Amino acid sequence: MANGPLSPVMLIASDGLIQNPSNALKSNDDWAAEYQSIIQTGPVLDQALALQAANVGNISNLIVTSLTTIGSNTVPALGDAVTANLANVANSINNTATFTQVVESRGDQLLGSGDISIFAQVYSLATVYVRQCNEFINSANNTESISSTFTSMDDLTTGGLSQVNSNIAAFGQDLTAIGTTIDLSRLTLLGHPWLLLRQILVAGGLLPGLYAALTSAGISDQDLRQIQSNQPTVSADLDAKIYRVFQTITGRSLVEICELLDVTLPVNGTGSPALQSGGLATAADLLDPVKLLPNTWPDLLVSLPSGSPGQVSTVNIYDSQAQISPPVEAFYRVDPEFLSLSRIIPANLAAANLAWARSLQQVKNVINQTLPNLASAASTVETNGNLPYIESLDSTTGPVPASVKSGVISTLGTGSGPDGLLYLNDLLGTIDGEGWANLMVPITDQFANLTGNQAFTDVTNNYVWMSGVLAGTYGNVSVGPINIPGDPTVYNDAGAAMTALIANTIANIAVFQTAQPAISTQLDQYWANLENRLTFEINNDELAGINLSELTTNRSAVLSLGTNLHAIGSDPDQAEFFSSIANVADPAGQAVLASLREARNRDAMLAKGFGIDTQLSAQ
């Protein structure tokens, strides 16, 4: 097969989403079961039946609306009521529905009410918003991962170059001028004369003048071959001999070495007129940072331990007189590597090279780069000069101040996860039911416990009688007479009887509230949790830019959904959501689930180095 955007099961799923959209996806069965468990329990069932009858029983809109708010000011759970707190939100969804019907209507609307392209757009907006918010929240929380090593924003944004030299642009120019003098892959050996000799050998072999000087000093061809090998082993005695040779290389011989290494620094005794001073005097100067970096040696920096464990301070390697600064000298004079190198080259050069090398090692991946690449990078990067707030961030404030971290989390963290991380069901929970079931169980449990309670029975009886009135059980709906059980009043039509029953129900709920204050308080809190959940999801939808009134049919959105099924399957949150709403009784719904599984199979196989050919060619 090819590497196209669709596999066979993805194509089947996409066709079903286009041809029979209402069959492929549906509200979660578990969510529907939980919803049914409420409307089939106690007063909610009876209220739903009464409302259903009212909607077909030629009853005034005022009476229908009254049915949806029974108990809203007392115990709304006993009337499946929309309270005043939620009235505006509920009316925007379904203005002639009880609360649980409003919730169900919201899920249907988000699912597109039969238009899968609406859902595809809703889903796209939701997933993008969830991903973006969570990236910000996780980033804010992960600032601690770099706080322990954070020194300044310049150090962070320049990849550590500002910890090497405080004048980065000029430093880049100085590095450019020294060509390939330094082997960055062997930074721990910087300052050793043999390493400089190796760079010369690698660049082009031995020049006559240098070769003569080396052999005259007793350095054999075997020594030179060992130095040029991939695993050189060089004694301190040989290393010192090489340094002494370098001290004798001047004039034209030094120019030839510089040309081999692409060094463009001036050489004393050459040029027209001949340069008398200020340039390189001997080949040994190629080991001296002051000579190699004529413009930026005063700006060379190194981080040294300071104060408590893990704390460091950045200091200059040199003082203004080109002498090793006291903190650097004090730190390195007891360093074993310094003690070893200072027996080969002068102590000030040994300390400077060790400090410079360790500073350079802070630049990520530097040992995998060449000196010209480092020079190019240093010449290009920018610091945060003239940005005082950014420059003020240090190890005390951390890379992200606490106020910024808390601001990001409090503003974007509107989800139900840790620190407000968002899940898809925080926006689309009315579709898959996640987040709702656990809120409904306490209500159904409480209703079950109230079986046989007279005050509770009085409420439920009214709903039963309402349904009977509207069904004509107690008399003619239009002209009466209507006799309600236990009520001596004779009503002329169903409207009058319903009005009386609604008033009785409201009164009975008030009686229940007085008789059962603790249970009423519990039910009120449970109901408030449900209302808060709906408000929570709608608020998140608005933040994500989901405005159902502005969405129109868009087939392209459906096609995008089809091509994204593998990405959905690879994301645990999205996969769980789709797994709960794909209709397994429909071929397209099965193909959706197969696509999700296929994606996880591909990920697992590819992660272990296996191939898997599932995609169809799109050419």
pLDDT score recorded for residue 252: 92
Over residues 167-180, the pLDDT tens digits come to 999 999 999 999 99
Report CA-CA distances (Å) from 431 to 34, 566, 577: 12, 21, 9
Angle, CA of 467, 92 and 466, to the nearest 5°: 10
Mean pLDDT of 347-354: 96
The larger pLDDT score, comparing residue 490 to residue 29, is at 490
Report CA-CA distances (Å) from 42 to 45, 80, 462: 6, 11, 12
Whether 462 and 500 have beta carbons less than 8 Å apart is answered as: no
Is the pLDDT score of 33 beyond 80?
no
Residue 290: closest CA among 321, 311, 262? 321
Over residues 265-300, the pLDDT tens digits come to 999 988 766 677 788 999 999 999 999 999 999 999
Is the pLDDT score of 367 beyond 80?
yes
Domain boundaries, the chain: 8-24+551-607, 29-123+427-452+518-548, 160-380
Would you mind telling me the total number of residues written for the chain in this entry?
A: 619
Over residues 468-510, the pLDDT tens digits come to 888 888 988 888 899 999 888 999 988 899 899 999 999 999 9
Over residues 399-416, the pLDDT tens digits come to 888 899 889 888 888 888
Report CA-CA distances (Å) from 43 to 66, 77, 444, 448, 504: 15, 9, 11, 11, 14
Angle, CA of 248, 250 and 251, to the nearest 5°: 160
pLDDT score recorded for residue 368: 95
Q: Is 179 helix (H, G, I), strand (E, B) or coil?
A: coil
The larger pLDDT score, comparing residue 518 to residue 4, is at 518
Is 559 buried (19+), middle (13-18) or exposed (0-12) by CB count in 10 A? middle
Residue 327: closest CA among 362, 355, 292, 353? 355
pLDDT score recorded for residue 35: 56
Confidence (pTM) = 0.77
Q: Is 312 helix (H, G, I), strand (E, B) or coil?
A: strand
Is the pLDDT score of 109 beyond 70?
yes
pLDDT score recorded for residue 57: 60
pLDDT score recorded for residue 1: 44
pLDDT score recorded for residue 309: 67
Q: How far is CA 68 from the centre of its chain?
A: 42
How large a percentage of the chain has pLDDT more than 70? Answer: 92
Averaged pLDDT of the chain: 88
Over residues 504-541, the pLDDT tens digits come to 999 999 999 999 999 999 999 999 999 999 999 999 99
